[in-house]
Amino acid sequence: MGESRVLVEDIDIDPPSERSVFIFGRDVSTIPCFRNSFLYGISIGMGVGFLAFLKTSRPQLSTHIGFGTFMATTLGYWFPCRYNWSKQKFDTAQLQQALQQQAIYEGTEKEREQQQQGVKLEQA
């Protein structure tokens, strides 16, 4: 009986391909909320368009309904998502700045003053 071994070097594994879509010179995979907005818009638009076709049997009308639903869903998901992302980014930047200031003031007289002012504010 011949023993066969498979070595790791013998296996040709392709690295995952870097597929990116560029629109107007910008990589859309780096835009926050882009993927989810378009996936929800496409799937809901196709579903509503298909249901409209089943109900009316008019292809042009159902195409218009599907595309309108796609646009409404995409934009309806995009704006709240981007608002929440911007708000979260702003809050993160503020927290990061506060932590840097805390690290600078740690163990100094300024920190003791801030702690005393904090106690006075809590009592008021």
Give the tokens for residue 91: 């809050």
Q: Which domain holds residue 58?
A: 32-122
How confident is the model over 77-86, as pLDDT tens digits? Answer: 999 999 999 9
- The CA distances from residue 83 to 40, 80, 89, 92, in Å, are 18, 5, 10, 14
Give the tokens for residue 34: 């882009």
Q: Could you tell me which residues are beta bridge partners of residue 27?
A: 22
**Residue-wise DSSP of 55-93:** HH--HHHHHHHHHHHHHHHHHHHHHHHHHHHHHHHHHHH
Residue 10: inside a domain: no
Q: Sorting pLDDT into bands at 50, 70 and 90, what band is 15?
A: low
Residue 95: inside a domain: yes
How confident is the model over 90-99, as pLDDT tens digits? Answer: 999 999 998 8
pTM beyond 0.85, yes or no: no
Residue 5: inside a domain: no
- The CA distances from residue 73 to 5, 33, 49, 69, in Å, are 54, 13, 13, 6
- Give the whole-angstrom CA distance, residue 102 versus residue 115: 11
Residue 103: inside a domain: yes
Residue 57: inside a domain: yes
Residue 118: inside a domain: yes
Residue 71: inside a domain: yes
Residue 3: inside a domain: no
Is 35:19 a contact under the CB 8 Å cutoff?
no
How much is the CA Rg of the chain, to the nearest whole Å? 28
Q: Would you say residue 111 has pLDDT above 60?
A: yes
Mean pLDDT throughout 39-59?
A: 96
Count of structural domains within the chain? 1
